[in-house]
Chains A and B, each alone.
Chain A
């Protein structure tokens, strides 16, 4: 009970701290401007203000100490903050004595400056405690606040350590920010088995009865519940992560056992297997723009294209890569395409469908080496032109629908290893070329189109209500 009352009083610190700051600063300010005839403020008034500031500073120190007992804060920072706070109170006391019983002399001025410095530092440390030490500078730095820790791929899940390889990485991404080396909210640390076993302010978090383990109970509470962990505004554990933690705790929350030592439920098996698989390879289609950074494009030469209706804009905010779409452009010729040279490094997606371009445009496009997507549907390009773009080694998707290209032309591109799809509907490629194409592009999805949706008898017959039902 005692602890809770002290904590209750301690929490007033957050309110009280603002009073000494206000009082003492206004006292210093009035003293400073009093040196001029115009703003002469009586010494008595300033004395009262400094006195109030001193009292408030002392109370702030006391409540601050009580709050620090809760242990929710980083110990190192709290220590500094405490000593700076005490020095604010002490200096304000000296200042008060000086102004009440002494003169406004050089010592008074030295004390004033010292007080100003002490208040600033204490305030900053206090802010760092509540908002985090990077709060002030975060807007200046580029880094995003969500730290993505790349997941390690487990080569053989059966041999993996359940805690070390499966559970610990989850705790690291979801829990350490509040229950780790930097912060220990409610005195709980989760970054080492010994801390996990020790538990937090409310006692042990693991229990011989899995259902009673607080670590699990808090996670399973509905997100709206105040006791739910992680707090509802923070990134949450997903269904799979929760299932794996549940399983680990059900099986005794052992820190040394391997996966094969624990009983594996049907539900858990696919999740475990997923940890083993290389997710990165599964998601290889994701980087639809090149991953290397590129400098900003020089777009001033592009005006003639834009005047003709072409759309050339970055692929997204904060990206220097560009997409160009000519869907509503008119009278585009090979000559116009030459202007793309100035953005040959930045151009990632290019759509030239239904434009009048021909093979000579492809010599320019062949220089746009960061292209990942190229659509040339219904243009006059031929096999000769395709030979000019075989250096586009980042190309992932190529559409040649409605052009005169043949298999011979397409095969020239087989050196582009990352090519994921080629669209060859209504081209000069015929059925006999198919095996050769398949062989040349073993990993590429080649779509020949020409799909037919057959007419079924049921498509045109209408079902009537059975007579009996009427």
Chain B
């Protein structure tokens, strides 16, 4: 016997011994005594309304079928959500919030009153005011203002509700993105899509319920936590898919492994996990089993739905998509396909909207315009395509950034920037929504003459979240998850449904 064999022999013996010890007489007695005791206790607690406290409000978390469709609290108008996040925060002053009075102040020193007690991410000292860097016009029957930067979107304003007085309290990208998507500026909370799939499950059992698509060359600053599941079971986190190559990494079987063998191996793994579950009763093990099975099904269903090559030419022309070239437009088209197939929540992130003016790509009159051109056509196509398929009524489309941009020109560290740009602004920015039971051709909220503060209809990220949950059929104040000894909700301790924008 070689050294190696001896070693192996010893390992096997040890494992056998451990296994025997595990199933000892004492183990049996302990198991049965504790088991019955715990059973009795559980049933008693249950009858007192305690027990199984990890879920509340009758949202049953069935770990073996975590994504099966569940009932909302009341019939929701929206069945799915497509959230288009322009990471970096686009300038509302060059898109939707038209401020002719700001033009008159262009180039003048910013009045002291606007700076007192304020803190900016980069502006120091006294910056110059910066007038609108785009021409505006009113469009549609709703007479909504849209700038020349989004000529396509301007044609469909009558489908859209603009929230012109959004506010936040975070002036850095990562915390502000977390606030928008998870209801808190720090890490650790579940994202909107996780809450939605936790509450509603998903209607297509062969696809993930929450899909994330990114573009623009970078991830959002807050990292993958913006689509994380936080304290919710991990099965509810967003599944990030790629728009070129394999949609999900390692989704293809490796060479030499056929689908039957794959199935056999997954079954074997699940058998072992099943035994582990019997032993330890950890619900995450059941989630894991469900995820393996989902992954197996996804090997067939995902490449199919994530393939835009088979879409007809007129659809490619409509969205401005080019197969095999990763782009925001491709992601938008995929979002439509996913929603059509019953995916609950599709989250798109497009990076590159942080128009500080530190270089040409981040200049409000250069790079920003190019960013607008990258998204304008496809977003417009998305709304129209959903509409003609009868899907817009039940799909809520949300567009926005994490905050707005200042009416002042940024002067990083007190010195003028090489290009025209604006700093982060928390007090006023624009988000728009369409479909999913939201009013058509409506504007809510108003900012002052220079777009600095809200004048009426101010809303917070919590209000937007409350409204999204409301459209999905949830009362955001009652939709909770017990964690660390208290019920948590997406909107934390605030948020009010914006009734004014609901059709």
Interface residues of A (CB under 8 A from B): 239, 283, 285, 288-289, 309, 311, 313-317, 319, 321, 325, 327-328, 353, 375, 377, 397, 399, 401, 421, 423, 425, 447-453, 455-456, 458-465, 469-470
Residues of B within 8 A of A470 (CB): 418
Tell me, in angstroms, the Cα distance from A242 to B418 when the chains sit together.
49
Q: Ordered nearest first, which 9 A-B pairs have the shortest CB separation?
A: A449-B388, A399-B390, A465-B360, A423-B390, A451-B384, A327-B342, A425-B388, A328-B204, A315-B75
Interface string of B141-177 (1 = CB under 8 A from A): 0000000000110000000000000000000000000
Residues of A within 8 A of B363 (CB): 465
B38 adjacent to chain A (CB < 8 Å) = no
Point out the residue from A239, A399, A456, A458 that lies within 8 Å of B389, measured CB to CB. Answer: A399
B203 adjacent to chain A (CB < 8 Å) = yes
Point out the residue from A313, A397, A456 that lies within 8 Å of B393, measured CB to CB. Answer: A397
Chain B residue with minimal CB distance to A470?
Answer: B418
B366 near A288 with CB under 8 A, answer no
Tell me, in angstroms, the Cα distance from A461 to B70 when the chains sit together.
47
B380 adjacent to chain A (CB < 8 Å) = yes
Residues of A within 8 A of B73 (CB): 316-317
Chain B residue with minimal CB distance to A398?
Answer: B390
Chain A residue with minimal CB distance to B394?
Answer: A373
Residues of B within 8 A of A451 (CB): 318, 381, 384-385, 387-388
A314 near B71 with CB under 8 A, answer yes
Tell me, in angstroms, the Cα distance from A458 to B503 when the chains sit together.
34
A288 near B377 with CB under 8 A, answer no
B252 adjacent to chain A (CB < 8 Å) = no
Of A285, A315, A450, A453, most B-chain CB atoms within 10 Å? A453
Kindly provide the distance from the CB of B499 to the nearest chain A CB, expressed in whole angstroms.
Answer: 8
A456 near B71 with CB under 8 A, answer no
B203 near A325 with CB under 8 A, answer yes
With A401-B390, A453-B384: A316-B74 Cβ-Cβ less than 8 Å: yes
Question: Assuming A314-B71, A425-B389, A448-B388, what are 20 further A-B pairs, CB within 8 angstroms?
Answer: A289-B75, A309-B205, A316-B72, A316-B74, A316-B75, A316-B76, A325-B203, A327-B203, A327-B204, A328-B207, A353-B340, A423-B389, A447-B387, A452-B314, A453-B377, A456-B151, A463-B370, A464-B366, A469-B360, A469-B419
A463 near B366 with CB under 8 A, answer yes
Chain B residue with minimal CB distance to A313?
Answer: B69
A397 near B373 with CB under 8 A, answer no
Residues of B within 8 A of A421 (CB): 390, 393
Interface string of B440-466 (1 = CB under 8 A from A): 000000000000000010000000000
A463 near B369 with CB under 8 A, answer yes
With A313-B71, A327-B342: A456-B77 Cβ-Cβ less than 8 Å: no
B228 adjacent to chain A (CB < 8 Å) = no
Residues of B within 8 A of A319 (CB): 75
B342 near A325 with CB under 8 A, answer yes
B124 adjacent to chain A (CB < 8 Å) = no
Interface residues of B (CB under 8 A from A): 58, 69-77, 151-152, 203-207, 314, 317-320, 340-342, 360, 363, 365-367, 369-370, 373, 376-377, 380-381, 384-385, 387-390, 393, 418-419, 437, 456, 473, 503
Residues of B within 8 A of A328 (CB): 203-207, 342
B389 near A377 with CB under 8 A, answer yes
19 contacts between A and B (CB under 8 A): A239-B456, A288-B77, A316-B74, A316-B75, A327-B203, A327-B204, A327-B342, A328-B207, A353-B340, A375-B390, A397-B390, A401-B388, A451-B387, A453-B320, A455-B317, A463-B367, A464-B366, A465-B360, A465-B363
Tell me, in angstroms, the Cα distance from A309 to B376 when the chains sit together.
38
Residues of B within 8 A of A353 (CB): 340
Chain B residue with minimal CB distance to A325?
Answer: B203
Kindly provide the distance from the CB of B191 to the nearest chain A CB, expressed in whole angstroms.
Answer: 23
B341 near A327 with CB under 8 A, answer yes
Tell me, in angstroms, the Cα distance from A377 to B341 when the chains sit together.
12
Residues of A within 8 A of B385 (CB): 451
Tell me, in angstroms, the Cα distance from A451 to B69 when the chains sit together.
33
Residues of B within 8 A of A316 (CB): 71-76, 473
Chain B residue with minimal CB distance to A267?
Answer: B456
Tell me, in angstroms, the Cα distance from A462 to B369 when the chains sit together.
8
A452 near B390 with CB under 8 A, answer no
Of A325, A448, A463, most B-chain CB atoms within 10 Å? A463
Residues of A within 8 A of B380 (CB): 453
With A425-B389, A463-B366: A458-B151 Cβ-Cβ less than 8 Å: yes
Point out the residue from B58, B77, B390, B437 that lies within 8 Å of A317, measured CB to CB. Answer: B58
Kindly provide the distance from the CB of A132 to the nearest chain B CB, expressed in whole angstroms.
Answer: 21
Kindly provide the distance from the CB of B130 to the nearest chain A CB, expressed in whole angstroms.
Answer: 15
B71 near A317 with CB under 8 A, answer yes
Point out the residue from A285, A377, A469 that lies within 8 Å of B503, measured CB to CB. Answer: A285
Tell me, in angstroms, the Cα distance from A459 to B328 when the chains sit together.
14
Tell me, in angstroms, the Cα distance from A465 to B365 when the chains sit together.
8
Residues of B within 8 A of A239 (CB): 456
Residues of B within 8 A of A460 (CB): 373
Of A314, A397, A423, most B-chain CB atoms within 10 Å? A423
Residues of A within 8 A of B370 (CB): 462-463
Tell me, in angstroms, the Cα distance from A314 to B419 when the chains sit together.
57
Kindly provide the distance from the CB of B133 to the nearest chain A CB, expressed in whole angstroms.
Answer: 11
A465 near B419 with CB under 8 A, answer yes
Chain A residue with minimal CB distance to B363?
Answer: A465
Kindly provide the distance from the CB of B311 to the nearest chain A CB, expressed in whole angstroms.
Answer: 13
Tell me, in angstroms, the Cα distance from A327 to B79 when the chains sit together.
13
A423 near B205 with CB under 8 A, answer no
Residues of A within 8 A of B76 (CB): 316
Chain B residue with minimal CB distance to A239?
Answer: B456
Point out the residue from B318, B340, B389 that lies within 8 Å of A453, measured CB to CB. Answer: B318
Kindly provide the distance from the CB of A12 to the nearest chain B CB, expressed in whole angstroms.
Answer: 32
Kindly provide the distance from the CB of A151 to the nearest chain B CB, expressed in whole angstroms.
Answer: 14
Tell me, in angstroms, the Cα distance from A182 to B439 when the chains sit together.
40
Chain B residue with minimal CB distance to A452?
Answer: B318
Of A321, A325, A328, A461, most B-chain CB atoms within 10 Å? A328
Tell me, in angstroms, the Cα distance from A3 to B39 when the chains sit together.
58
Chain A residue with minimal CB distance to B57?
Answer: A317
Kindly provide the distance from the CB of A161 to the nearest chain B CB, expressed in whole angstroms.
Answer: 27
Tell me, in angstroms, the Cα distance from A399 to B387 when the chains sit together.
11
Residues of A within 8 A of B203 (CB): 311, 325, 327-328
Chain A residue with minimal CB distance to B151?
Answer: A456
B71 near A449 with CB under 8 A, answer no
A459 near B390 with CB under 8 A, answer no
Chain B residue with minimal CB distance to A462?
Answer: B370
With A423-B390, A452-B318, A453-B152: A458-B373 Cβ-Cβ less than 8 Å: yes
Kindly provide the distance from the CB of A460 to the nearest chain B CB, expressed in whole angstroms.
Answer: 8
